[in-house]
Every structure is written in structure tokens, then in C-alpha cells.
Amino acid sequence: SKDIAQVSQWANFSDSLHMAVASIYYPSQGVVQLNKTETERAKSMLSESFSRINLYLASRTFLVSESITQADISFFCTIQCLLETHYEVNQLKSLYPHVYRWANTIGNQQEVVSVIGRPISFCTKPIPAFDAKKYAELPPKAAQGGGKKENQGGKKKDGDKKQQEKPKQEAAAVDDTPKEDYKDAFAAMPGGNFDMDEFKRVYSNKDILADAIPHFW
């Protein structure tokens, strides 16, 4: 149906924003180094998305239909971390009032709260774009990686000799014993009469719930 298709579209749209959200949120948590170019690009992308969605929600309570759907949950879970850490609530209300209203509605639904553990807590003071202290506490992965490469380099000659000897050993170990013919484990079972091509035509051209699923069964 139309609603099912729209829910799927919103879920895919939410997935497409994950990288932009991560480019802003992860550096602020000290998980990755700050890349100002990527962060600014992500902010621009999200601002454009929020502007469009704000207009879309001007006449709607939920993203699809008249009740909460997977579309609302997917989009809310994608942007929740930024709403609570980067988008100051008064600025959010001013720039994207309908997005704020929608997020406040979804973030206080009993079903959503039961999963997240608490109602949404909008940002009152944006956190810094980069947490250098947390980032400095991360293990020195680059140094560890360099040590491994050095050790591997020291064993390179031995590895080359082993690689040269391996094909000879494999050739000597080839088993010329004739193999038994392959037997189909389902050969004794009665053949099916399901027309997959016909099902594909029904699935592609008719309503999934009303026609395709009954046709399948």
C-alpha cells in the first residue's frame, strides 16, 4: 500500500543521514578526530533536510498516516543524539518549529521511552565540536599498527620461502582418487508446481498484502 511504501522510503532516508550525524556526533564524543570539512558538509546537509522536513510536518503530526510508524522511530533514533547535544532547543524551535514539535511528540511516547529509558532531553547548551581529552585517552592504534608491520617485515624472507614451497607441497598432495557422483538429496521428493515467474509478476504489479502474499501461499 501507499503507507507501507512511504514508511520504507523514510527508513531509507534515515539511513542516508547516518554518516552526516556521525560526522558531527562522534568527534564531540572524542571517538574520532575532528574533520572540519566533513563536519561543515554534514551540518549543511542536515540543515537542508531539517528545512524540508519542517515544511512537510507543518500539516502533519506524524511522518506517515495519523499514528506513529516505523518511519517516525527510524528518523527519531537517527537524529536524537544531535537534538540532545548539538541543536540548542530555543534555536531548534525558532528554525524548525515543526521538527521540534514532532520530536517532542515521538520522544515522549510511552513505547519509545520504554526502549530509550527516558523521555527526550533537548539540548540547552551545545557541547564542543571536538573532545580532545577523550580522544587523547584512546589507545594509540597507529603505534600498535606500526609495530605489527615492522615484525611482519622482519619475517618477510621466511614467508617468501614458505610461499614458494607451498605450491610444491600442494601439488604432491593432490588426491587422484575418483570421487563418487554427486547425489541430489531432494531427488526422491515430489517436484513442486510453484510458478516463480507468475509470483514475480503479481508481486511487482499488484498490492503486496491483498494479492501477492495470498498468491504466495
pLDDT at position 176, please? 61
Report how far residue 89's alpha carbon sits from residue 57's, in angstroms, rounded to the nearest whole number.
18
Cell of 205: 504489479
Q: What is the structure's pLDDT at 138?
A: 87
The pLDDT assigned to 97 comes to 98
Residue 200: predicted pLDDT: 81
Does residue 126 contact residue 86 with C-beta atoms inside 8 Å? yes
The pTM assigned to this predicted structure is 0.65
Crossing angle between the packed helical segments 2-16 and 70-85, to the nearest 10 degrees? 30
Contact 108, 42 (CB under 8 A): no
Torsion sign across C-alpha atoms 137, 138, 139, 143: negative
For the segment 196-211, the average pLDDT, to the nearest whole number, is 82
Q: What is the mean pLDDT of the chain?
A: 85
Give backbone dihedrals phi and psi of 88, rounded to 5 degrees, phi first: -60, 135
Read off the pLDDT of residues 66-100 as tens digits, 9 standing for 90 and up. 999 999 999 999 999 999 999 999 999 999 999 99
Write down the pLDDT at residue 7: 95
Does 14 or 194 have the greater pLDDT score?
14
* Average pLDDT for 130-152: 67
pLDDT digits (tens, 9 = 90+) for 97-136: 999 999 999 999 998 999 889 999 999 999 999 999 999 9
